[in-house]
Chains A and B, each alone.
Chain A
Amino acid sequence: MPASTGWGRPEDLVENLSSMDTTARLKALRDVKNQIIGNKTKKLSYIKLGAVPRVVEILASDAEIPLLVQSAAAVGSFACGNEAGVKAVLDSGVLPHLLKMLSFGDNKQVVEACARTLKMIFQSSLAPRSEMLVGQRMELLLNLLNSSNENVAEVAAHVLARCCESVEHQQAIVDAGGMQRLVTLLSGTIRRREAALDGLAALVKNNPQLSLQLAAMEQGRPLALIIKFVKDKIPRTRFLACMCLANISRSCPFCYPQEWDIRTSMLAVIVKLLEEPGQVGEESPIVLADIVANNEELQRAAYKFDAIVKLSALLQRESLPTKQLEGILMALAELCSRLEESRRQLLDQDPGKNAQAAIISALSHPSESVRVASCTCIKSLSRSVKNLRTTLSDERLVFPLFKLLDDPSPVVQVAALSAVSNVVLDFTPHKSVFFQCGGVSQLIQLSRSMDPMLRLNAVWALRNLLYLADMAVKEKVISELTVSTLTSLIHDPEEMVQEQALAFVRNLVYGSVDSVQQVFAEESAILIAVERQLCIACRPEGVYVLSNIAAGNELHKEAVMSFVAPVSQEGRNPSPILRFLQDMSNPQLRVAAVWCVMNLSYPDSPGAVTRVARLRESGIEQQLQKMVDDPCLDVKDRVKTALEQFTGLANV
C-alpha cells in the first residue's frame, strides 16, 4: 500500500507525538487525529502502535492551546463508538486531566473539547461509574453543573445521568446535593434545562423514594415546571420532560394530585414525538412503553391516538437503530398486552402484515434486548384465541421462536418461554409443528433446569401444550418427560411450579379412559404424588385431577375413592375432601370438590350405589347439605345436582 502523501509513516507519527519540538508534536497530533476520524481500522491500528498514552501525555502536561485542543479532540475520537478506544484512553489515565481542564481551564475551546470528549467516554458502558461518585470527583461534577459554560454544565449532567446505575448511586448523588443543583438548572437556558431534565430523569428512575422526593420538593414548584415543559415548543425538551415524568409515574404512581391527567397529556405528546427525527424519535418509543405499562385505560387512549399505526409504520423502516427497534417492540408489547383491538390493529391491517414479518425477523437480531422485546411482543399478541388460530401458529414464527429456547442468554430464554407457552395453544389436537421443530424436547429439557424461572415457564408451556391434545401427543410428552420428572415437579420447592405441574396432570388425564390411565403408570406414582400434594396444600388443580380421574371407569373411580373415602378398620373416617368443601375462601376449590363427588356418584355406573354409601359414611352428604345456600352460584347449582344424585341412588 503506498504511503499517503503528506502524512508520515504511522510509526513515525506516533514517535513524533513525544517529540521535544512543539511544532513537530502538533503536526503529528493533527495528522493522527485527521486520520482516525470516522475510521475504525485506523483507530485500532494507532491504539496498537501505542499512540494513546502519548496523546494523553500531551493533554496532561502541555500548555499551548492548539496542542490541548487537538489532544482532547483526538482522545474523544479514539473513544467515539469504539470500546477498545474507550479502554485505551481510560487505561492511560485521561479522566483526571479532563476533569481538571473542565474545572480550571480558562480557554473556552479547550474546555469545550474536553467536555465533548468526556461525554463520548461516558456513552460507553466501560466508563467508571462508581468512581465518579466518590468524594472529590462527585463534588467536582456537581460544581460543573453550575459552570458558566453551557456545554460543561450539559456534560456534567449527562455524566451524572449515566452514573445512576443503582439505588446507591442515585442516593449518593442526591445526598451530595445533586437533585437540588439539577432542579436549579431547570430555570436556566434551554441547554441547561434539558441537561437538568436528563439528570433528574436518571435520578428518579426505578426509585420510588426519590420520585416522591422530587415531586414534593419546594411545594411542587420544580414538578410544575417539568409539567409545563411537556408542552414546550422544542421537541427535545418535550421528550425529556415526558421521560422524567414517566419515570416518576412508573416508580411511584399517583404520587402527586394531577398525575392521571398529566399521564394522558404526556401520552398524546409522546405519540406525536415518535416520528421526530434523531435521538428524540429513537428514544420516544421506550418512554411510551413506560407511560402505558400496566394501564389499560392509557393503552386504550394510545390506540385512539393511532400509536399502533405509527409504531407499525416505523417498524418497517430499514436499518433501525437497535435502541429504537427495542423501544418500538416494547411499546407494541405493552400496547397489545390487554386490548384485543390493539392486537387486531397490529396484525390485521395491510401494513400490519409486514409488521409481523419485522417482529419475526427481530427474533434473530444480534442484540439480546431486541430479542427479548420481540418475544415479549409476541407474548402479548398471542393472548388471543383468534390470533393463535390464524396468524401466530405459522411455522415461520414458531421455528425461530423455538430456536430461542436455546439462546445463550437466560433472559432471552425466559422471554421466549413465555411466548411459547401461548403459541403452543394453537387449538389443534395434533401439535405437529412443535414436534417437527424439536421444540417439545427443548421444553422438556428446560423443565429440568436449576433456574426456577426457566422451570416454571417450561412446565407452563407443557401444560398449555397438553390442553385438549390428542393421545399421541400425551404419550410422546410423558414418555420423554418421564414419570419421575413429573413427580419431582409436583413436589417442586417452588409453589408456582407445583401449580403448573398439577394443571399439567389435569390436562393429561382429561378425556378418554386411556388418558386417565396415564396416571397409574409406574405403580400410580403420579396419582400418589398428587394425593400427597393435596394433603399438604389445598389446590383446586389437584382436586380437578381427582375429579377427572373419577370420570373414568370403575377402577379409576375406586382409586379416587381410596383417597376420598378411605376404608379402615375403625369404620367411619372423615374424608380429606371435606376440607376442600369447607374452604370458604376459595369457591374454585369447593366447585372442584363437588364435581369430584358428582363423578364418583355418577348414576349410570355399576358401583355407584356402594360408593354413595361410603361417601355418606365419610360425612360428605352431610357437608353438601350444609352448602345448599352457598354464596357462590356455581357451587350452589352443583351441590343441588349432587344431592339429587345422592338421593336418587339411595332410593335404588
Chain B
Amino acid sequence: MPAQALPPPCTFLAVGQAFAGTQNVSSSQTSRKDEAWKVKVQLQGCDIQRGYLCGSMEALNVPAAEIPVVTFWEGEMVDNRNHTFYTGKWDASRETDVKHWSQFPSFEPLRADVEKDGGRSLDLANYPYFFMRWKEKFFVNVGTDCGLTIAGFYYICFSRNDGSVHGFYYDPNSSPFQKLELKALMAGQSGHCFASYEFA
C-alpha cells in the first residue's frame, strides 16, 4: 500500500467517548413494523496509527433478553494504511462492500475510485468522515444463547464534525441493512467532558 498520511486526531474518536442511539431491526418475518432497540457504545481503545479501535456495545430493551446485553467489539479504520474499503473476510465480497458503503451519502464522492481500484489512492486522512468496520468479538455479560447474534459486522460511517455514527449490520444469515444510528454523548451536565488514560 502506498504510504498514506496519518489521519489527524478527532476529539470524538477518543477513549472514553460514549455514543447512544438505536439499531433498527427490520424483520421480514414478522408483520410488525420495524423494531428498534436502544444501543449504547463506548470507545475504550484507540490506536490511530494501527487503524484500530475497540470498545463495548450495549443493547437495551432487546425482546429476547432479560437484561441489557453487552458485547466487546474491535474496529478497523479504513485509512489506506492498515485497511482498505475491501473487507476481504467475514463473508463479505467486494460487491457486498460497495453496496454497503454506498448506503452512506458521504461515500458518494469516493464511490467511483473505490469501484475502480478499492480507493487506494484516496486521501482519506483529510476526509470529514471516517469509514470503519466494527466487529463484535464476545459477549461480556450473557451467554451465547441470549437471542442475539454477533456473527456479522457493521459498516460504519463516523462524522468528524459531531461524532455521529451511522452503520449497517451485515450478516448473510440475518436480515439485511439493519441500521445503526448513534450520537456522541456529552458526559457533562451542560457541556462536553473528557477522561483519559495512558498505558505504561
Contacts and interface: CB of A to CB of B under 8 A. Distances in A.
Q: Please report whether the interface of chain B is mostly helix, strand, loop or mixed according to DSSP.
A: loop
Contacts of B55: 385
A384 B44 CA distance: 10
A285 interface: no
Q: Please report whether the interface of chain A is mostly helix, strand, loop or mixed according to DSSP.
A: helix
A634 B8 contact: yes
Interface stretch (B76-84, B110-118, B174-182, B191-199): B191-199
Contact of B190 (A425, A461, A552): A552
Given A386-B72, A637-B160, A605 B193 contact: no
A595 B72 contact: no
A513 B195 contact: no
Interface stretch (A85-93, A321-329, A365-373, A502-510): A502-510
Interface in A624-652: 632-634, 637-638, 640-641
A421 B193 contact: no
A544 B194 contact: yes
A80 B8 CA distance: 61
A226 B39 CA distance: 62
Given A385-B54, A386-B74, A633-B10, A605 B198 contact: no
Nearest to A605: B190
A335 to B, nearest CB: 17
A395 B52 CA distance: 28
Interface in B139-192: 140, 160-162, 186-192
B16 A468 contact: yes
Given A386-B74, A506-B194, A511-B187, A634 B9 contact: yes
Interface string B1-21: 000000011110000100000
A552 B188 contact: yes
Interface string A590-611: 0100010011101011000000
Contacts of A632: 8
A463 B137 contact: no
A547 B16 CA distance: 15
Nearest to A466: B195
A634 B122 CA distance: 20
Using C-beta atoms within 8 Å of the partner chain, give the interface range for chain B.
20 to 34
B194 A548 contact: yes
Given A385-B45, A550-B191, A605-B190, A633 B160 contact: yes
Nearest to A594: B11
Contact of A634 (B10, B72, B137, B194): B10
Contact of A599 (B10, B126, B191, B198): B191
B161 A553 contact: no
A540 to B, nearest CB: 10
A598 B191 contact: yes
A604 B190 contact: yes
Contacts of A468: 16, 195
Contact of B11 (A386, A461, A595, A600): A595
Highest count of chain B CB atoms <10 Å: which of A417, A427, A599, A638: A427
Nearest to B44: A385
B78 to A, nearest CB: 17
A464 B160 contact: no
B196 A467 contact: yes
Contacts of A512: 189
A316 to B, nearest CB: 26
A418 interface: yes
B161 A547 contact: no
Interface string A387-400: 00100000000000
Contacts of B64: none
Contact of B200 (A384, A422, A544): A422
Interface residues of A, number: 57
A121 B23 CA distance: 73
A503 B197 CA distance: 8
A552 B9 contact: no
Contacts of B200: 379, 417-419, 421-422, 457, 460-461
Nearest to A389: B72
B160 A510 contact: no
A201 interface: no
Contacts of B195: 467-468, 506-507, 510-511
Contacts of A510: 16, 187, 193-195
A161 to B, nearest CB: 34
Nearest to B125: A633
A455 interface: no
A383 B197 CA distance: 11
A178 to B, nearest CB: 40
A512 B186 CA distance: 11
Nearest to B50: A340
Interface in B98-121: none
A637 B8 contact: no
Contacts of B196: 467, 503, 506-507, 541, 544
A484 B197 CA distance: 23
A551 interface: yes
A542 to B, nearest CB: 13
B159 to A, nearest CB: 9
B11 A551 contact: no
B161 A637 contact: yes
Nearest to A596: B191
Highest count of chain A CB atoms <10 Å: which of B10, B45, B137, B195: B195
Contacts of B189: 512-513, 551-553
B58 to A, nearest CB: 13
Interface in A501-542: 503, 506-507, 509-513, 516, 541
A449 B174 CA distance: 58
A599 B188 contact: yes
B4 to A, nearest CB: 15
A489 to B, nearest CB: 16
A598 B190 CA distance: 10
A173 B9 CA distance: 52
B196 to A, nearest CB: 6
Nearest to A339: B50
Given A379-B200, A417-B200, A548-B188, 11 more contacts: A386-B137, A389-B44, A467-B197, A547-B194, A551-B192, A552-B189, A595-B194, A598-B191, A599-B190, A637-B11, A637-B161
Across the A-B interface, the 4 shortest Cβ-Cβ residue pairs: A551-B188, A551-B191, A599-B191, A385-B45
Interface of B: 8-11, 16, 44-45, 52, 54-56, 72, 74, 126, 137, 140, 160-162, 186-200
12 contacts: A386-B54, A422-B200, A503-B196, A541-B196, A598-B192, A602-B191, A605-B190, A632-B8, A633-B8, A633-B160, A634-B10, A637-B160
